[in-house]
Every structure is written in structure tokens, then in C-alpha cells.
Amino acid sequence: MKKELTCVECPMGCRITVLLEDNKVIGVEGNTCARGKMYAENEVFDPKRVVTSTVKLSCGGVLPVKTDRPVSKKDMFSVMKVINGACCKAPVKTGDVIIENVFGANIISAKTVE
């Protein structure tokens, strides 16, 4: 069986073919780098994405946030539930952890707010 993908690991956007047999990856073709091979292998069985959103600020407004690592796509709505229930106080610097260990990732600030 073959699965066709477009790699999103870099701007090249390689068209990748993943060869499957007995629910196992037996080959990856079309990638120009090792990151593409790893992306393709993960995408077939457990696709992951970085989640971006906003958290309410106690002083009003919102703070842009993101996960510090990709999380499984099957967990994205659960991650969003946690983010939507959060509120933080300024000052906050870019990269500060806003919520720890949400499905294996930290939610971090994507902006400095004084």
C-alpha cells in the first residue's frame, strides 16, 4: 500500500510516498532530507502539530501562545480545552511557560506583554 504526503518540515514541500506493508512502514521515497523521512513515518501513524491559540490576560486582552513541541492531532481539541480555560497575568515574556505539561507539551507565550 502507498500513502502520498506533502512534507511540511521545511519550505521545499517534498512530495513523499510512504510504502506500507502489514501496517508497517517499509520505505519512504521522495524526501530530500532525514527530517522528511521522520515526518512521513510519524504522519502515517500519529500525526502531530504545534497548537497555536490565545490565553486571556487578567488585565484584559489576550496573549498569543503555542505548544513548545508538536502534540498528537488526536489530542488537539483537549489541548484547546485546557488553553481556553486558562488566564494569566502580565508581565509575560516570549517563551515563558504559561501552562505546564498539557499532553506532553508546555504552553508558552509567543509574545512579550508588559
Summarize the confidence of residues 39-62 as an average pLDDT.
94
pLDDT for position 99: 97
Answer for the pair 70, 44: CB distance below 8 angstroms, yes or no. no
> Alpha-carbon distance 2 to 16, whole Å?
10
Extents of the domains making up the chain: 2-45, 52-109
What is the pLDDT at residue 87?
96
Can you give the pLDDT at residue 26? 93
Cα 108 to Cα 92: distance, rounded to the nearest angstrom? 10
pLDDT at 61: 93
Q: What is the DSSP letter of 60?
A: S
What is the architecture of the domain spanning 52-109?
Answer: Roll (3.10)
